[in-house]
Amino acid sequence: MVERTAAGSGRVLDVGLPDDQVDDFLAGRDAAVRALALASRDVVLDIFPDAVETAEGNDLGYGFDAGYRGLVFTIGLTSTGVNLGVYGGASLDDPAGLLAGTGKVHRHVKIRTQSDLDDELRDLLTRALDRRNVDS
């Protein structure tokens, strides 16, 4: 685990993977995909600073605890970018039309350029986290 400072409160949190473990997870990926994954990670951790971060398969996971039950977001690596998964995205209001996918519960946002990590995405992720906080 890594110490991070929670945004706003200044509280030190013991969450997240060490940067070298994230680097190992991203090793062998195209430089542009690595950069998008790291930038997406920064956005998720800015919105959800006390997230428990895991790395499994091709995904980084962010939740209230390790495992599926507490999951809120995933960062899935593809050959051309990142799919930022949103737990419960199928029922989340999406006025900007960012969410993709056809699953009954989850959706994802395709991150292909740094400009995809915009205020509309941050708003969507914040609303998803707020709703998941209520549901937990």
Give the tens place of pLDDT for each residue, 9-22.
Answer: 444 444 578 888 88
pTM of the model: 0.86
Is the distance from CB of 26 to CB of 38 less than 8 angstroms?
A: yes
Instruction: In whole angstroms, give the CA distance from residue 136 to residue 133.
Output: 5
> How many angstroms separate the CA atoms of 5 and 49, rounded?
7
Q: What average pLDDT does range 70-90 have in this prediction? A: 95
How many helices (DSSP H) and strands (DSSP E) are in the chain?
Answer: 3, 8
Q: What is the pLDDT of residues 85-127, one digit of tens each?
A: 999 999 999 999 999 999 999 999 999 999 999 999 999 999 9
Residue 16's pLDDT is 74
Continuous segment of H or E residues that includes residue 6: none
The class level of CATH for 2-135 reads alpha beta
Rg (CA), the chain: 14
Q: How far is CA 50 from CA 4, 10, 29, in A?
A: 8, 12, 27
Least trusted range by pLDDT, from 1-5, 33-37, 55-59, 113-117: 1-5
Q: Which residue has the tokens 């737990």?
A: 87
- Could you state, in order of their start, the residue ranges of all structural domains in the chain? 2-135
Q: Is the pLDDT of residue 39 over 80?
A: yes
